[in-house]
Amino acid sequence: MNPVLNIIIAAAGIAAGVFLARIFWKAGNFKRTGDKAAFAAAQFGWAEKTPMGVIRLIAWLEILGAIGVVVAPIVALIPGFAWAQPFGVAAAAGLALTMIVAAIMHGVRGELKYTAKNNFSLLAFAVVATVLNALVVLPLQF
């Protein structure tokens, strides 16, 4: 692959990852620190019947995905650390899976008409980040 094209793809993948990380970091921290009253105030109807342990698990998966989708591709650019690239791909794919499950859950609850734009926008960004991070041929040749 053309090294310049490879750098452009890597930069685009990192940029998509940064966008995702910002959103999932914020959402994960809210779920990590919030309580049922805070979730009700934020109109998280799904959280009413969801055990706090599940909400905290979702929070940590979102936080770890946010970290992995940015840090792994950057670390993979360091010579000798190409092994980190699959972790970035896995993190982005995990965030995409999170949004698929969220869309299914909102659909079952009849909320998809309110959440569809956000769910599918984040899913699209996660898929783009996954594909771009998977396309990078490491090690980059300068």
Rounded to whole angstroms, the Cα distance separating 123 from 129 reads 10
> Mind listing the pLDDT tens digit for each residue in 39-93?
989 988 888 888 999 999 999 999 999 999 999 988 888 888 888 889 999 999 9
Distances (CA, A) of 124 to 4, 40, 79, 136: 25, 27, 30, 19
pTM: 0.87
Q: Are 116 and 68 in contact (CB under 8 A)?
A: no
Per-residue confidence band for 142, with pLDDT thresholds at 50, 70 and 90: very low
pLDDT at 1 over 80: no
